[in-house]
Structure 1
Amino acid sequence: MTGNSQNPALTGAPQQARTRLSALWRPALVQAFVKLDPRQLLRSPVMLVVELTAVVTSLLCFVPAQGVSTGLALQIALWLWFTVLFANFAEALAEGRGKARADSLKAGGEGLRARLRTADGSYTSVAASSLRRGDLVRVEAGELIPGDGEIVEGIGAVNEAAITGESAPVIRESDGDRSAVTGNTRLVSDWLLVRISANPGESTLDRMIALVEGAKRQKTPNEVALDILLIGLTLIFLLVVATLQPFARFAGGDLPLVYLVALLVTLIPTTIGGLLSAIGIAGMDRLVRLNVIAKSGRAVEAAGDVHVLLLDKTGTITFGNRRCSALFAAPGVSAMALAEGALLASLADDTPEGKSIVDYLRALHPLQEPARSAVTAVPFSAETRLSGIDWNGRVLRKGAVDSVLDFLGRDRASLAPALAREIDSIAQSGGTPLLVCADGELLGAVHLKDVVKPGIRQRFAELRTLGIRTVMVTGDNPLTAAAIAAEAGVDDVIAEATPEKKLQRIRQEQAEGKLVAMCGDGANDAPALAQADVGMAMNDGTQAAREAANLVDLDSDPTKLLDVVRVGKELLVTRGALTTFSVANDVAKYFAILPALFSGLYPQLGLLNLMQLHSPQSAILSAIVFNALIIVALIPLALRGVRVQAADAASLLRRNLLIYGLGGLIAPFLGIKALDMLLVAAGLA
């Protein structure tokens, strides 16, 4: 049978993903030394070059007649090792934030048992880790669901805190869009027969563990392209440094090999090379903290370049559950009598719609309410489509139009013309009309409608400034869809949407060279999710939708797609910003160091030594120290990410060039000069 107690570490998983950095620095420091293994540094070619130069410089400390004192060579070697270690530390720190959560998730699956149905219909207890796709398992109330699957029979409340961190149970049932369940979540009530949908190593839990363990994260195409750029720049500066010795010999001088090795490290793009892995891992960590699983890094990267967002209306733009917006009294009935009847008839209705009526009327007409113990409640039933109370001899009911009329023994033809017109008007506008009656008398109608979420219009406006166009997808008629679209502030709308319509629109946008994002939860969304560049499925949706998408939201919150887009943009902007800084930094160091290095051989270059560095020795040592410390200074930015401003691409580019490009040019001159003065004053150079 399944385990009887939930792992406490699992329920705290989201908090562990937010573990303070101060609790992670010790294991990260150990990993920084472990990562000195050249086989691990192959993932970062630039830092591999730095390590090799550190080894060479360390060996040169023991070689006499290099034209450099052993003390200076030793200082340069130590700072080179410091550079490699801190780059490794940044990567380990980023990985560590996810590994704590991964360890707790792994622990949650240990020893888990499942009740497997055999060919003769009986059940046998097996290890959950032995389950295969297609196996049928029965889960009873209080047990952990042993693996990802689709509900074949039953309905029950599931506590998904182990995965999402939310303790409120959610309803899962067969034959619907809420039939998928996730392994290691707990069934709170009833029983379920689940068909396992993933083999070992393929489940949501396994994907999450692989995602948060940075070492197993595959590089995205953008990172690979950036690696190629960094390797290219490294080769260029290698050629530049290799040509300096012939120039020195031509002038009758000589540049010590230690200087050349140190100069190479200061010129190659070590800043972005040392932080690139940390940026990517930290970006994925932010995605994990959003409770979103990415099946590929490409999807997250594409999210940063999305041009069009297709969003389902219900649950995304509107609340999903229709809410009370107005009351219409029948002829001869006062507004207060209708309000009182509707409020009392809704007290026993625990559905979101019933609660919205109570909330609406309590705010509009404060009325005296009976104690719960004094009434006989008639809860809402899907079979009768009625709810109400019996109280002090009174009979109050509220429900669907035909249901209330049947309760009263009447038909639609008996409705007053004015009330009938209101009911038809509500229905034609896309709303839901309910009737209220008390003691055999029809009091009037309640208008339930989709209510646009507060602040959603501002969010869409913010996306618009980022160059992203929003399209609302709904099954409503064009008139209703247009009204909601105008209220929400979307750019376009697809009314009476079918799977074919969604697919056609996505293909049309892609044919125009645009990247498209789509979110959905039903089987009819699967084609569109598979076609979209970024497809996000809801975890509580169908298995077809989850398999078709490349992102899965464990919270089943469609508005999360907007946050995923922001994370994708943060990743791209952070990489771009630090790459801009690194390249500008390298160019500045070239012009800051070379005049001082060659001033003894070519006195004319003394005019270009604007910072008046003390000597070639102090110049090269200051540059090495600056090169190491700038990585340390930028670690927090790499882990946090550059905040995305609500602006178009051109404005973001200008901002990056102004802040990080100009900053990268100025920082080396100021930093190297300050270090030169400090090192000379301390007698270290």
Structure 2
Amino acid sequence: MNIVSSTFSNSLKKIGLKYWINNPIFGIVSAISACATVLFIDEIINPTGHSLIYFQTTFWLWMTVLFSTFADSYAESKIEHPKNSKGYYEASVLIKKLTNDHDISNFSFVSKEKIKSGNFILLAKGDMVPFDGIIVKGACYVNESDLTGILGFNLKNSDKNNVLAAGSIIESTDQIIMKVSFSKQHSFYARATQLIKDINRQSLPSELALQRIIFGFSVLFLSVIFTVWVIAKYSGFNIPLIYMLDLIVLLLPTTISGLQHAIITFGTSKLQTKGIFIRDNVALDTVVDVNIVLFDKTGTITVGKREMTDFINISEIDNTNFIEFLYLSSFSDITHEGDSIRRFAENDDNYKEIIIDETQYKDLPFSSSEPISGCNYNGIEVRKGSVRSIAHYLNKSIADLPENILLLTKQIATTHGTPLLLTVDKRIIGIIHLRDRFRKGIMKQIEKFHANNIRTILITGDNSITAKYVAQKVGIEELYSEATPEKKLELVRTLQQQGYVVAMCGDGLNDALALAQADIGFTFEEEMYENTMITGNVISKKHDLSNLLELKNICKKMTVKRGLLTVFSLTSDIVKYFVIVPALFTTAFPPLNILNFMKFQSLDSVILASVMFNALIIPALMPFIFRDFHKQKSRYSLWKGIFLYGVGGIISPFIFIKLIEILIYNLGLV
């Protein structure tokens, strides 16, 4: 009961200017209803004996508006509004602003808005870089995967490679001093936001076609009304003004206008039960015609976090002792990779519970000055790190490392893996295999796109070797590697110019521009970090690419229902024309009574019955419009539906207007 009352209350609130703007036809109907109300009040003040008919027609005109808003409100009651309605997330953090570039202890916490170009700020491990800038003191490893799509850390210092981009993450333990070298207007966020503002998604062909149909029929029927009024005036027959207003409402496509938006809204609620949220209704039509999909790699095809999957023991140490050294190397490593190495060791069959004497354990965390990690324990040095960093630790060049180690690390790198070397007392004992694992079920999800004859392309900021391996693994034949955000945007535009309807699946800042330009920008809520721009028009609550196909399927059914409603509405409007116009002419010219084949009792009765039918047909169609939304359609269902709704649109006005007319005439309402 609460749902009904809240829906009814919301429908009353919708009878206003904002609803008129979104639905111009009902803006006209509301304005006409207001005019009819004025005429009714005038009839009360200056009675002519027609107050009853004036009241009834005015009442049913307003009910036409109310039923339309009620359908809309009912559909909206099924909708959940997703979080994060802003165009992008903006971290509400305070920044350490330094007084100068040499005293790191002299800082104050300030908001982002108070930072200007030329200011010095202090950054430490885990901090997100808030603005573009340059390192003026110190060195650090930076995670730029959310900007470039490439996993791994880049070493940056004040001497070379000193540029930091907004959105990257400081990964080492060292503190650095950064100079904000660009104004806010020229930061990555500002530049990306400006590019996004300049992007316009393609217009919706079916929506444009429907608008033209509605406009065309509206002009046609209004021309008919004007012609009837001129003929009646010329013949000396005065049609009351309130009847002319009724005729305008009756011959406008009110049924389409009253229920089209409700279908869209109801379909949106059904999508939400699948965990799919729509930020732009244009996507509901556009997705039906999607014929090419671009997939980002990091975070979309893969999880975006490297985990240990295997190890290669190249020493004489047995696996039990090897696993112990592996565990010790990551005992205090709080990074995601360190945690995965520790868990791998604990889950290995050779693992035996290790009780560590923490008084003998000295942790050596990863840092820019010491780009390896590990520990000193009971006089033993355990280290792990990249091939380059371990070679440097051993005072060797990479070429000086044993050939079998170089061969094994190369094999890992060419199969989408990352090799780390494990050493004990400066002797390499094995190779740790890290891998950014594929999303669960990703191969089957990609297969579904191919089964639906949708062309797929992998586009990533990663190198060509990694991109090729990933593409082959998931079954994607086309790929673009080392793609910057601008290159991704350019590819989307090129495909659109070639006539494709493009969907882009991705997350993170490096995909923001492509997501904004694509006809369908498909992103994922679970991957939205604080620095992620939300530029897609479709958000999936769970990371399942099949949801894009589910969206396409449901939207196709929505399009069918809207098409059937259009057929019904237009045929019904044409029939109402043949019902009402003969009644008008026979009233003006009694000899033409032969045209009154429906045998209407009077002009008052046919006008009132038609207005009532025009209002009541909207709630009458709601069960047919909203039911069986997930029912599978046969290949003939569209033409069958067009036939049934077309016939229904032809027959129903004749039958129900006559029945209503008989009822109101016998009740003495006219």
Q: Is the 8 A contact 1:309 1:516 kept in 2?
A: yes
The answer as to 2:195 corresponding to 1:197 is: no
Select between 339-348 and 116-125 the one with higher mean Cα deviation. Answer: 116-125
Q: Is the 8 A contact 1:390 1:396 kept in 2?
A: yes
Q: Measured at CA, do residues 481 and 658 of structure 1 come closer, stay the same or move farther in structure 2, by a change above 3 Å?
A: farther
Structure 1 partner of 2:30: 51
Alignment counterpart, residue 80 of structure 1, candidates 34, 49, 61: 61
Alignment counterpart, residue 326 of structure 1, candidates 303, 310, 318: 310
Task: Quote the offset at 1:382 in angstroms.
Answer: 4.1
Task: Quote the offset at 1:272 in angstroms.
Answer: 3.5
Work out the CA distance in 2 between the residues paired with 1:677 and 1:393: 100
3-state DSSP class of the match of 1:620?
Answer: helix
Q: Is the 8 A contact 1:151 1:180 kept in 2?
A: no
Task: Quote the offset at 1:499 in angstroms.
Answer: 7.9
The answer as to 2:340 corresponding to 1:356 is: yes
The residue correspondences of 1:207-222 to structure 2 (distance < 5 A) are none
Structure 2 partner of 1:629: 619
Task: Quote the offset at 1:471 in angstroms.
Answer: 0.9
Q: Measured at CA, do residues 370 and 466 of structure 1 come closer, stay the same or move farther in structure 2, by a change above 3 Å?
A: same
> Unmatched 5+ residue regions in structure 2?
141-155, 169-174, 587-591, 600-604
Q: Is the 8 A contact 2:17 2:27 kept in 1?
A: no
Task: Quote the offset at 1:447 in angstroms.
Answer: 1.8
Structure 1 partner of 2:363: 378
Structure 1 partner of 2:589: none
For residues 146-201 of structure 1, the C-alpha deviation after alignment (integer angstroms, 9 at most, x for no partner) is: x9954666999xxxxxxxxxxxxxxxx997786149xxxxxxx99987665359xx
Structure 1 partner of 2:296: 312
Structure 1 partner of 2:468: 482
3-state DSSP class of the match of 1:450?
Answer: strand
Q: Is the 8 A contact 1:430 1:477 kept in 2?
A: no
3-state DSSP class of the match of 2:473?
Answer: helix
- Tell me which amino acid in the other structure corresponds to 1:428: T
Q: Measured at CA, do residues 128 and 350 of structure 1 come closer, stay the same or move farther in structure 2, by a change above 3 Å?
A: closer
Task: Quote the offset at 1:47 in angstroms.
Answer: 1.5
The residue correspondences of 1:279-290 to structure 2 (distance < 5 A) are none
Task: Quote the offset at 1:381 in angstroms.
Answer: 0.5
- Tell me which amino acid in the other structure corresponds to 2:64: T
Structure 1 partner of 2:152: none
Select between 326-335 and 565-574 the one with higher mean Cα deviation. Answer: 565-574
- Tell me which amino acid in the other structure corresponds to 1:78: F
Q: Measured at CA, do residues 151 and 537 of structure 1 come closer, stay the same or move farther in structure 2, by a change above 3 Å?
A: farther
Alignment counterpart, residue 269 of structure 1, candidates 248, 253, 257: 253
The answer as to 2:432 corresponding to 1:453 is: no
The residue correspondences of 1:69-468 to structure 2 (distance < 5 A) are 70-85=51-66, 87=68, 150=132, 179-180=166-167, 197=184, 226-241=210-225, 261-274=245-258, 305-330=289-314, 332-365=316-349, 367-370=351-354, 374=358, 376=361, 378=363, 380-383=365-368, 384-391=370-377, 395-404=381-390, 407=393, 418-438=404-424, 442-464=428-450, 468=454
3-state DSSP class of the match of 2:437?
Answer: coil
Task: Quote the offset at 1:587 in angstroms.
Answer: 0.9
Structure 2 partner of 1:32: 14
Task: Quote the offset at 1:362 in angstroms.
Answer: 4.1
Q: Measured at CA, do residues 190 and 629 of structure 1 come closer, stay the same or move farther in structure 2, by a change above 3 Å?
A: farther
Number of paired residues? 606
Work out the CA distance in 2 between the residues paired with 1:619 and 1:391: 93
Task: Quote the offset at 1:432 in angstroms.
Answer: 1.6
Q: Measured at CA, do residues 378 and 109 of structure 1 come closer, stay the same or move farther in structure 2, by a change above 3 Å?
A: closer
Work out the CA distance in 2 between the residues paired with 1:218 and 1:66: 56
- What is the Cα-based RMSD across aligned positions, in Å? 6.7
Work out the CA distance in 1 between the residues paired with 2:163 and 2:504: 20
Q: Is the 8 A contact 1:283 1:567 kept in 2?
A: no
Select between 567-576 and 384-393 the one with higher mean Cα deviation. Answer: 567-576
Q: Measured at CA, do residues 345 and 135 of structure 1 come closer, stay the same or move farther in structure 2, by a change above 3 Å?
A: closer
Task: Quote the offset at 1:662 in angstroms.
Answer: 4.2
Q: Is the 8 A contact 2:610 2:657 kept in 1?
A: no
Task: Quote the offset at 1:89 in angstroms.
Answer: 6.6
Q: Measured at CA, do residues 292 and 104 of structure 1 come closer, stay the same or move farther in structure 2, by a change above 3 Å?
A: closer
Work out the CA distance in 1 between the residues paired with 2:62 and 2:447: 48
Select between 334-343 and 72-81 the one with higher mean Cα deviation. Answer: 334-343
The residue correspondences of 1:665-680 to structure 2 (distance < 5 A) are 666=648, 680=663
Q: Give the alignment's TM-score, normalised by structure 1.
A: 0.63
Structure 2 partner of 1:170: none
Q: Is the 8 A contact 2:576 2:653 kept in 1?
A: no
Q: Give the alignment's TM-score, normalised by structure 2.
A: 0.64
Q: Measured at CA, do residues 629 and 503 of structure 1 come closer, stay the same or move farther in structure 2, by a change above 3 Å?
A: closer
Q: Is the 8 A contact 1:116 1:135 kept in 2?
A: no
- Tell me which amino acid in the other structure corresponds to 1:388: G
Q: Is the 8 A contact 1:626 1:668 kept in 2?
A: no
For residues 405-427 of structure 1, the C-alpha deviation after alignment (integer angstroms, 9 at most, x for no partner) is: 55567776886665553223213
- Tell me which amino acid in the other structure corresponds to 1:197: K
- Tell me which amino acid in the other structure corresponds to 2:14: A
Task: Quote the offset at 1:675 in angstroms.
Answer: 9.1
- Tell me which amino acid in the other structure corresponds to 1:32: K
- Tell me which amino acid in the other structure corresponds to 2:217: L
Work out the CA distance in 2 between the residues paired with 1:43 and 1:660: 27
Q: Is the 8 A contact 1:517 1:532 kept in 2?
A: yes
3-state DSSP class of the match of 2:469?
Answer: helix
Work out the CA distance in 1 between the residues paired with 2:470 and 2:85: 45
Structure 1 partner of 2:570: 586
Q: Is the 8 A contact 1:67 1:256 kept in 2?
A: no
Work out the CA distance in 2 between the residues paired with 1:324 and 1:280: 46
3-state DSSP class of the match of 1:368?
Answer: coil
- Tell me which amino acid in the other structure corresponds to 1:239: S
For residues 363-405 of structure 1, the C-alpha deviation after alignment (integer angstroms, 9 at most, x for no partner) is: 4537334367747363541433433345566554332234445
Task: Quote the offset at 1:472 in angstroms.
Answer: 0.7
Work out the CA distance in 1 between the residues paired with 2:375 and 2:110: 49
- Tell me which amino acid in the other structure corresponds to 1:74: F
Task: Quote the offset at 1:233 in angstroms.
Answer: 1.7
Percent of aligned pairs with the same amino acid? 24
Task: Quote the offset at 1:453 in angstroms.
Answer: 1.0
For residues 93-135 of structure 1, the C-alpha deviation after alignment (integer angstroms, 9 at most, x for no partner) is: 9999999989999xx999x999999999999999998x79969
Q: Is the 8 A contact 1:433 1:445 kept in 2?
A: yes
Q: Which structure has the greater CA radius of gyration?
A: 2
3-state DSSP class of the match of 2:303?
Answer: coil
